[in-house]
Amino acid sequence: MDFVTAIKTCFGKYVGFSGRAARSELWWFYLFYFIVLVVANIIDAVIFGAPALLFAIAWLGLLLPLLAVQIRRLHDLDKSGWFWLFILIPLVGPIILLVWYCTRGTLGPNRFGPDPLAGVM
Protein backbone atom coordinates (compact mmCIF):
# COMPACT_ATOMS: atom_id res chain seq x y z
CA MET A 1 0.00 0.00 0.00
CA ASP A 2 1.36 3.42 -0.91
CA PHE A 3 1.10 6.71 0.99
CA VAL A 4 -1.98 8.13 -0.75
CA THR A 5 -3.89 4.84 -0.67
CA ALA A 6 -3.18 4.44 3.05
CA ILE A 7 -4.44 7.93 3.83
CA LYS A 8 -7.59 7.42 1.73
CA THR A 9 -8.22 4.06 3.40
CA CYS A 10 -7.81 5.48 6.91
CA PHE A 11 -10.15 8.40 6.21
CA GLY A 12 -12.58 6.07 4.43
CA LYS A 13 -12.69 3.94 7.59
CA TYR A 14 -12.63 7.04 9.83
CA VAL A 15 -14.18 5.26 12.79
CA GLY A 16 -14.14 1.75 11.34
CA PHE A 17 -12.72 -0.44 14.07
CA SER A 18 -13.57 -3.73 12.36
CA GLY A 19 -11.40 -5.48 9.82
CA ARG A 20 -7.65 -5.57 9.43
CA ALA A 21 -4.90 -3.10 8.51
CA ALA A 22 -1.52 -3.95 7.02
CA ARG A 23 1.70 -2.59 8.49
CA SER A 24 2.13 -0.20 5.60
CA GLU A 25 -1.31 1.34 6.18
CA LEU A 26 -0.49 2.06 9.82
CA TRP A 27 3.00 3.45 9.23
CA TRP A 28 2.01 5.63 6.26
CA PHE A 29 -0.82 7.07 8.35
CA TYR A 30 1.59 7.69 11.23
CA LEU A 31 3.84 9.60 8.82
CA PHE A 32 0.86 11.67 7.60
CA TYR A 33 -0.21 12.30 11.22
CA PHE A 34 3.29 13.46 12.14
CA ILE A 35 3.59 15.77 9.11
CA VAL A 36 0.17 17.35 9.71
CA LEU A 37 0.93 17.99 13.38
CA VAL A 38 4.36 19.49 12.62
CA VAL A 39 2.90 21.79 9.95
CA ALA A 40 0.04 22.82 12.26
CA ASN A 41 2.56 23.49 15.03
CA ILE A 42 4.71 25.65 12.74
CA ILE A 43 1.71 27.63 11.48
CA ASP A 44 0.52 28.13 15.06
CA ALA A 45 3.98 29.33 16.11
CA VAL A 46 4.09 31.83 13.25
CA ILE A 47 0.57 33.14 13.77
CA PHE A 48 0.08 32.88 17.55
CA GLY A 49 3.65 32.60 18.81
CA ALA A 50 2.97 29.20 20.42
CA PRO A 51 1.26 25.91 19.58
CA ALA A 52 -2.45 26.43 20.03
CA LEU A 53 -5.56 26.30 17.91
CA LEU A 54 -4.52 24.60 14.65
CA PHE A 55 -2.48 21.98 16.46
CA ALA A 56 -5.43 21.10 18.71
CA ILE A 57 -7.83 20.94 15.77
CA ALA A 58 -5.45 18.72 13.77
CA TRP A 59 -4.81 16.47 16.75
CA LEU A 60 -8.52 16.06 17.50
CA GLY A 61 -9.38 15.56 13.83
CA LEU A 62 -6.84 12.78 13.38
CA LEU A 63 -7.29 11.08 16.75
CA LEU A 64 -10.13 8.72 15.77
CA PRO A 65 -8.68 7.55 12.44
CA LEU A 66 -5.33 6.94 14.17
CA LEU A 67 -6.97 4.92 16.92
CA ALA A 68 -9.03 2.99 14.35
CA VAL A 69 -6.01 2.04 12.24
CA GLN A 70 -4.08 1.00 15.36
CA ILE A 71 -6.91 -1.29 16.42
CA ARG A 72 -7.29 -2.72 12.91
CA ARG A 73 -3.53 -3.36 12.97
CA LEU A 74 -3.95 -5.36 16.18
CA HIS A 75 -6.76 -7.27 14.46
CA ASP A 76 -4.29 -8.15 11.68
CA LEU A 77 -2.23 -9.90 14.37
CA ASP A 78 -5.40 -11.75 15.52
CA LYS A 79 -5.43 -9.75 18.75
CA SER A 80 -8.37 -7.94 20.30
CA GLY A 81 -8.46 -4.16 19.99
CA TRP A 82 -8.56 -4.01 23.78
CA PHE A 83 -4.82 -4.76 23.73
CA TRP A 84 -4.43 -1.12 22.69
CA LEU A 85 -4.90 -0.32 26.39
CA PHE A 86 -1.35 -1.63 26.89
CA ILE A 87 -0.41 1.97 26.06
CA LEU A 88 -1.39 2.77 29.66
CA ILE A 89 1.34 0.53 31.11
CA PRO A 90 4.33 2.83 31.65
CA LEU A 91 7.37 2.12 29.44
CA VAL A 92 6.60 -1.55 28.75
CA GLY A 93 3.17 -1.12 27.13
CA PRO A 94 4.25 1.20 24.29
CA ILE A 95 7.24 -1.06 23.57
CA ILE A 96 4.99 -4.12 23.31
CA LEU A 97 2.64 -2.26 20.96
CA LEU A 98 5.56 -1.04 18.83
CA VAL A 99 6.82 -4.60 18.45
CA TRP A 100 3.35 -5.80 17.51
CA TYR A 101 2.87 -2.96 15.03
CA CYS A 102 6.13 -3.99 13.33
CA THR A 103 5.27 -7.71 13.22
CA ARG A 104 3.86 -9.39 10.12
CA GLY A 105 0.14 -10.04 10.45
CA THR A 106 -1.59 -13.39 10.42
CA LEU A 107 -1.23 -15.14 7.07
CA GLY A 108 -4.59 -15.75 5.46
CA PRO A 109 -7.94 -14.95 6.99
CA ASN A 110 -8.42 -14.73 10.74
CA ARG A 111 -11.43 -14.02 12.98
CA PHE A 112 -11.32 -10.32 12.01
CA GLY A 113 -11.43 -10.77 8.25
CA PRO A 114 -9.36 -11.58 5.18
CA ASP A 115 -5.65 -10.89 4.91
CA PRO A 116 -5.16 -7.26 3.76
CA LEU A 117 -2.06 -8.36 1.83
CA ALA A 118 -3.78 -11.25 0.01
CA GLY A 119 -2.72 -11.10 -3.61
CA VAL A 120 -0.24 -8.23 -3.05
CA MET A 121 2.91 -10.29 -2.62
Phi and psi at residue 17, to the nearest 5°? -95, 0
Answer for the pair 113, 34: CB distance below 8 angstroms, yes or no: no
Per-residue pLDDT reduced to its tens digit, 62-92: 999 999 999 999 999 999 999 999 999 999 9
DSSP 104: -
3-state class of 10 per DSSP? helix
| Integer Cα distance of 69 and 88 in angstroms | 18
pTM of the model: 0.89
